[in-house]
């Protein structure tokens, strides 16, 4: 038998509301944990498939050309420059990189002052090797960055950013972060994947380190870092099973004005306005430019 909310005393209503709020928070935490598991499985699967392709290619080349020189072998290998070599060359405070084995793509994280960090994706392959891997022209590399934030072992947030820039500036950092980057090119289903995990610790202004000099053999096209403050922010509001409405605004615009225009344009209920303004302000301060929310979260 369902309770009659109309005649329920106020203390009982408050208790019921608190219970529902706790259930909602628990469901969000479980959802974020499942998202992290899904990202980990996708990353491991991509790495295993890449490793299998490399082993098959090496075996086929050794069978066809058993007497080839070591120089040619190094030229055809994706492991031209390793992550450990990059890390050793830098010597910078706050630069983290995986050093387990050589890979064609790596992620370097350099923390800065005021709770910021720069995430740089480095592709250590020549254009010929990229063309051979993707079976397409690598003129426009695209980076899909998945950023998962955890605190005390609990996933608190997960965001995805798609960009053509190799460097992304993160702001307002305060916890442990797991970064996964998928590098793709248009008209190709193949990808390169790398991941990194770092614990953010604020770097005082006086200890700010200069930009890292890249070795001559790693010189590539220089990309301008993404400043989240100069980006277009997009909040995707889920209003149906597979239906999303996108509220976008440029840094410097008034989130309140963007929210009011969005509500009026899509004829949404005015009760959503305050929650939408809060969500837009949180997105602007989060250090990412894209976020998905359910319409019930705006109530």
Round the average pLDDT of the chain to a whole number and report it: 71
Q: What is the dihedral of CA 107, 112, 114, 119, to 10 degrees?
A: -20
- Whether the CB-CB separation of 225 and 165 falls below 8 Å is answered with yes
Residue-level pLDDT at 47 = 77
User: DSSP alpha helices (H): ranges in 77-196?
Assistant: 83-90, 127-134
Residue-level pLDDT at 24 = 84
211 or 243, higher pLDDT: 243
- Whether the CB-CB separation of 161 and 142 falls below 8 Å is answered with no
Question: Edge-to-edge, what's the strand order for the sheet holding 116-123?
Answer: 95-96, 105-112, 116-123, 167-170
pLDDT digit string (tens) for 202-235?
555 444 444 444 443 333 333 333 334 446 777 8
285 or 74, higher pLDDT: 285
Mean per-residue pLDDT, 162-178: 78
Model confidence at 109, in pLDDT bands (50, 70, 90)?
Answer: confident
CATH of the structural domain 70-225, one choice from 2.60.40.10, 3.40.50.300, 2.120.10.30, 3.40.630.30? 2.60.40.10
Task: Supply 12's token pair.
Answer: 């009982």
Fold of 227-299: Ubiquitin-like (UB roll) (3.10.20)
Model confidence at 188, in pLDDT bands (50, 70, 90)?
Answer: confident
- Residue in 291, 267, 264, 265 with CA at minimum distance from that of residue 278: 291
Residue-level pLDDT at 205 = 47
Task: Note the pTM of the prediction, 2 decimals.
Answer: 0.38
pLDDT of residue 242 exceeding 50, the answer is yes
- Per-domain boundaries in the chain: 70-225, 227-299
- Taking 3-state DSSP, the helix, strand and coil percentages for the chain, each rounded to the nearest 5, stand at 40, 25, 35
Mean per-residue pLDDT, 115-133: 83
Q: Mind giving me the DSSP string for 220-275?
A: ----PPB-GGGSEEEEEEE-SSS-EEEEEEETTS-HHHHHHHHHHHTT--GGGHHH
pLDDT digit string (tens) for 24-69?
877 877 877 787 777 777 777 777 887 888 888 888 888 876 555 5
- pLDDT above 70: percentage of residues in the chain: 72
């Amino acid at each position: 038998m369902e309770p009659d909310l109309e005649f329920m005393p106020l203390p009982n209503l408050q208790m019921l509301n608190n219970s529902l709020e706790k259930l909602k928070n628990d469901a969000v935490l479980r959802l974020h944990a499942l998202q992290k598991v899904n990202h980990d499985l996708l990353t491991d699967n991509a790495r295993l498939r890449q490793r299998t392709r490399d082993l098959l290619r090496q075996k086929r080349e050794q069978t066809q050309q058993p007497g080839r020189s070591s120089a040619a072998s190094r030229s055809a290998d994706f492991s031209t420059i390793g992550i450990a070599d990059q890390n050793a060359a830098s010597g910078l405070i706050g630069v983290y990189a995986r050093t387990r084995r050589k890979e064609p793509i790596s992620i370097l994280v350099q923390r800065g002052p005021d709770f910021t960090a720069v995430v740089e994706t480095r592709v250590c392959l020549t254009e010929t090797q990229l063309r051979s891997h993707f079976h397409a022209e690598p003129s426009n590399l695209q980076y899909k960055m998945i950023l998962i934030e955890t605190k005390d072992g609990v996933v608190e947030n997960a965001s995805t950013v798609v960009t053509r820039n190799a460097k992304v500036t993160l702001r307002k950092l305060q916890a442990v972060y797991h970064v996964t980057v998928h590098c793709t090119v248009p008209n190709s289903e193949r990808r390169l994947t790398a991941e990194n995990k770092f614990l953010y610790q604020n770097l005082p202004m006086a200890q700010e380190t200069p930009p890292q000099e890249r070795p001559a053999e790693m010189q590539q096209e220089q990309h301008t870092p993404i400043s989240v403050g100069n980006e277009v922010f997009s909040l995707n509001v889920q209003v149906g099973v597979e239906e999303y409405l996108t509220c976008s605004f440029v840094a410097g615009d008034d989130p309140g004005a963007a929210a009011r225009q969005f509500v009026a344009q899509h004829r949404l209920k005015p009760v959503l306005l305050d929650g939408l303004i809060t969500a837009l302000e949180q997105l602007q301060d989060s250090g990412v430019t894209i976020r998905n929310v359910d319409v019930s979260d705006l109530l």
